[in-house]
Amino acid sequence: MENLWNDTEAGKHQGLLAERVYSSRLLGANPALVLHGGGNTSVKGVWKNIFGEDEATLFVKGSGSDLISIEAKDFVPVRLDAMLKLSRLETLSDMDMARELKLATLDPTSPAPSVEAILHALIPHRFVDHTHADDIVTITNTASGEARIREIFGDDVIVLPFVMPGFDLAKLCAEVFPAQATPRTIGMVLMNHGIFSFGDTAKQSYERMIELVGRAEAYLAKNAALAAPANIAPSADWSALPALRKNVSNAAGFPMLLRSHTSNSTLAFARHPEVASISQRGPATPDHIIRTKRVAMLGRDVGAYAQAYRNYFEANSKLSKLPLTMLDPAPRVIIDPEFGLISAGRSARDAQIVEDIYLRTQNIVLRAEMLGGFQALGAAELFNMEYWDLEQAKLKKSGPPKAFAGEVALVTGAASGIGKACAQAFLNRGAAVVGVDINPEVESLYGKREDYLGISADLTSLEAIKGILEQTIRRYGGLDMLVLNAGIFPGGKKIEALADELWHKVMSINLDSNLAIMREAHPLLKAAPKYGRVVVIGSKNVPAPGPGAAAYSASKAALTQLARVAALEWGNDSIRINLVHPNAVFDTGIWTEEVLLQRATHYGMTVDEYKRNNVLHEEVSSKDVAELTAEMCGVLFSKITGAQVPIDGGNDRVI
């Protein structure tokens, strides 16, 4: 376990809270310690109130914060004396505890304090660190886990059985810590969950964490070292994934994204001779159950999994009397011998988190098997965590999902202009977006984010189109919405001067490539969980062509006819195809300031007058076209197909 502490860097962080931020980020930088918001840290200090008085204060990680990027504002100041008083109560429900924690917060603008705030307050050290270290979780998830932990650490750590985070865990700690702690005690292990370290300084607490986890790491290297999996040639039929996605979405009751991970390790795990048993024993730590669900499914029979999950829900909900409306029997982890690991989520980030968690879970399970067998908590305990009151309250506060949550949009010509604006419009509505353009800038358009995939490709190549759709399937599981925007508008050429080469080039890009994309995407759109949608970006030149634009006008007119025929043919597949016909959209690449000035001068107008030279005297922007395009894929157009809608501010020739 590598120690990342750097005295020079640490020296740049002056003050207790700044030191707490620095060491917390060191923990967050190691996914073997914490992952996606897991773990917790705190520091005890003072808060100066409005009267100038110092109040003893616990600064604890706020709910929703991630240690890898945590800032000072993400540590919630709570009254230390209030935490200690709460620990002396006999009982305290989760919801009452959450209310009391909020009432004890000294800054009302802070996020909700961690549910482990009382526990952190009880530990008699200034700095407290808590992680779900893989090596610790591996050892504790075995039948002889406690004995092994005591063998590794002796009296350097206190060992607690698993108890739900919150008041019950704090109460247990209040009883056990004073009785078992010695001058040698530097940490605490919570079985099936993780490890705590503590110290008088940020450096001491951090380095104790690294030391303790390092001991577990060395133990596993000696007793449960995994050999690298052999090279396995992927054999997945990616065309089968959209149908699987539809089944998962149907089970959930809303669209879901699927993310596939076909690597040596995932394929080896999926083909492990005991995978049918070891994959069904539960998560590595109960915290993961909310993301991954209770059971990792083997194979693609979503119906069988869903029924098994219903049985599990009904058996356990009899005790808690949870309503059936809370039931979501869709799997979040699918283990398949061809696809390896498939993760499901309502958003691209959710699917990514599930994948990250289960990639680590696979190794934990396999190493625990080498220590006598992976053994997670029982079904009832996991159910209580999955349907924990505090988690359900958090879900309610998050509000309804965005319009296109769980859906995928592919936009061509996405590097600039209308296409770029379309990509943003769909992202704003919660869709995962695949942006395609011949310009390589499309790949880095939005930096690194899970819900955007940029692909640089030549759409006149059929192989490139097939590759784009395969990447879309592998990243998101399928396709729901297709925006055909890519095209070229060559300089004005009258028919007598129009060369065959230019004619064929325009037709190849504006027409032929769109036919190929539609044809190849049809099976994906047909398998869309709700219904497939296509929006074609046409042109004013379809109803009102202009001189010198024969190739462009003919290509857009032919594309319009193609879309109309598709609307007729694909209606039985519940696929809607509609068109928008923009005109005079000047915030695109072809309209430079110089060109705009020339055209405005030619008509005796100012540039602003030229931009608004339409019936309504309104300027039409790429964003205007994009918003209409996105709405055409929404519920307002759910009963409309084959429509052609101009967006031009009103053109007298079109009207």
| 503: amino acid identity, one letter | W
Annotated active-site residue 206? The verdict is no
Half-sphere exposure in the Cβ direction for 211 (13 Å, CA) = 16
**Closest by Cα among 493, 590, 500 to 549:** 493
Three-class SS of 263-326: CHHHHHHHCCCCHHHHCCCCCCCHHHHHHHCCCCEECCCHHHHHHHHHHHHHHHHHHHCCCHHH
CA distance to 27, 279, 369, 373, per residue, from 363 (Å): 20, 12, 10, 13
Strands (E), 532-596: 533-537, 576-582
Cα–Cα distance list, 11 to 7, 239, 263 (Å):
6, 55, 41
Residue 167: both structure tokens together: 């008041």
CB 171 within 8 A of CB 95: no
The active-site residue out of 206, 219, 476, 552 is 552
Q: Which structure tokens are listed for 324?
A: 């059936």
Amino acid at 355: E
CB 256 within 8 A of CB 346: yes
CA distance 368 to 11: 40
End-to-end CA distance of the chain: 71
| Both tokens assigned to 491 | 């300089």
Extended strands (E) in 87-229: 127-131, 157-160, 187-190, 194-199
Q: Which two tokens stand for residue 319?
A: 């005790």
Question: What is the helix (H) or strand (E) element at residue 256, kind and residue range?
Answer: none
What secondary structure letter does DSSP report for 334? E
Q: Determine if residue 321 is left, alpha or beta; phi over 0 gives left, psi from -120 to 50 gives alpha, anything else beta.
A: left
How many C-beta atoms lie closer than 10 Å to residue 123's C-beta? 20
- Of 343, 353, 363, 192, the C-alpha closest to 272 is 363
8 A C-beta contact, residue 111 and residue 65: yes
Burial class (CB in 10 A: 0-12, 13-18, 19+), 331: buried
In the numeric block, the tokens 């590097």 are attached to 415
Phi first, then psi: give them for residue 117, nearest 5 degrees.
-60, -45
Mind telling me the catalytic residues?
552
